[in-house]
Structure 1
Amino acid sequence: METHSAHLTKETRAERERLAGILGGLTPEQWDAASLCDGWRVREVVAHMTMAYRTRAIGVLAGLVRARFSFNRYADRDARSATRAMSDAELLGLLRRNIEHPWQPPGGGQAGALSHDVIHGLDFTEPLGLPPAPPERLALILASTRPRQLKYFGVDLGGRKLAATDSDAVVGDGSTVVAMTSKDILLVVTGRRPLNDVPQTSR
């Protein structure tokens, strides 16, 4: 029987393959389009997704020191530097060569690796009107959502429970249940979209 970790690994690789396929069909104008990450185009998002494949631990530490230990500041500088140094084709090639890369975010495990790819995938597929990850894959990420993650993204559900209409995902423990797609729940809980901006059905 496949273990949960093995399943997450398989889903992570499948998501990287899916995103590489999408990116391979983008026009230069789409690579230059704004993403859901403030100030980043599609190419900066892809550069960020490849950061773990381009940098060694000592390089990350040095970058953090220069960024006064702000990971967001360091990640922004790294993404912009990478897009100046590499073409879109080179970034895509790097992503493709590392579909089976074992990287996991510190403390995040394999679920964190899958979350990283799926969430940043949404950062460019959503504004471009392209398909998100399958609901079942999104549900794997939503299942690991905890209050500290909502706090990190500055999200307050206001006593509401978000229930997916296309998977078994549920986030929050409020008395008011709000139904929406798995994709919209993930956009809300990661601070990409205000809860009140999403079409909802309360029950």
Structure 2
Amino acid sequence: MQQAERARLVDYLGSVPVTAWEQPSLCPEYRVRDVVGHLISGAKNTPPKFLLGMLKARFDFDAAMRAAAARESTGTPGDLISRLRTVAAAKARPGPAMLGEVIVHSEDIRRAVGDGPGQYPTDHLLVVADAYRSVGMGLGSKKRIAGLRLQATDTDWATGDGPLVSGPLLALVLAMTGRCVAHADLAGPGVAELAGRS
């Protein structure tokens, strides 16, 4: 699944204008090129590399991620696409979190440059949604959706109890990660509460 989503992103990036690579993405403090660099570094990461990066950043996770992204975000857009294409074919790292990384960051890019949402297989989104509903540290989605009922309107998926937040599964996944852009696609009495937690 990760390889398919990385390949889909590589194909899409070829259509992104060169000037758009320097503009801010939806991911705070990251330009479009930095998001691509982050995905490249994530695909190349190993436990020893991760630990070394954390040591250099004095165990500041965000600082370690920014430094890794900065190292991989140099060069022309063509260079970045080529590097992402190379790692896209590599063996995927285990776990649904990495699949979520590719999908969510694809949306960080697509929506920042003014393109509509991407089209993702429902089974990919279901894997990510099921994982994100219980992720605490780092992503914070578990706390963000606590006490709310999230229900997809385009497939059979729901989680939680409380005021309803409904919408397309992609919008729910993005909302779980704190992407406020997704709130416009959501409905229900729980949306305001969710928005206040983003």
Q: Same fold (TM over 0.5)?
A: yes
Q: Secondary structure at the match of 2:95?
A: helix
Cα shift at 1:186: 1.0
Q: Name the counterpart of 1:193.
A: 180
Identity of aligned residues (%): 24
Per the TM alignment, residue 27 of structure 1 is displaced from its structure 2 partner at its CA by: 0.7
Preserved CA contact (<8 Å) 1:159 1:175: yes
- The question of whether the paired residues in 1 share the 8 Å contact of 2:97 and 2:131 is answered with no
Letter aligned with residue 120 of structure 1: H
Residue of structure 1 aligned with 2:108, choices 116, 123, 130: 123
Contact 1:180 1:199 survives alignment (8 Å): yes
Within 5 Å, give how 1:40-51 maps onto structure 2: 40-51=30-41
Three-state SS of the structure 2 residue aligned to 1:144 is: helix
Q: What is the match of residue 29 of structure 1?
A: 19
Mapping of residues 41-190 of structure 1, within 5 Å: 41-54=31-44, 57-84=47-74, 86-104=75-93, 109-128=94-113, 129-134=115-120, 136=122, 137-149=124-136, 152-153=139-140, 155-157=143-145, 159-171=147-159, 173-190=160-177
Task: Please say which of residues 27-36 and 156-165 is displaced more in the overlay.
Answer: 156-165
CA offset digits 1:31-90 (Å, max 9, x no partner): 122111111111000000000455565443332211001221111012123323x32211
Q: CA deviation at 1:202?
A: 5.4
Q: TM-score, normalised by structure 1?
A: 0.79
Inter-CA distance 197–97: structure 2 relative to 1 (3 Å threshold): same
Q: Give the counterpart letter for 2:128 in structure 1.
A: I
What runs of 5+ residues in structure 2 fail to find an aligned partner?
A: 191-198
**Unmatched tracts of structure 1, length 5 or more:** 1-10
Q: What is the CA distance between 1:92 and its match in structure 2?
A: 0.7
> In structure 1, what is the Cα distance between the partners aligned to 2:154 and 2:169?
6
Quick one: structure 1 residues 66 and 185, their matched pair in 2 at CA, closer, same or farther if it must change by over 3 Å? same
> Which whole-Å CA distance do the structure 1 matches of 2:85 and 2:71 have between them?
20
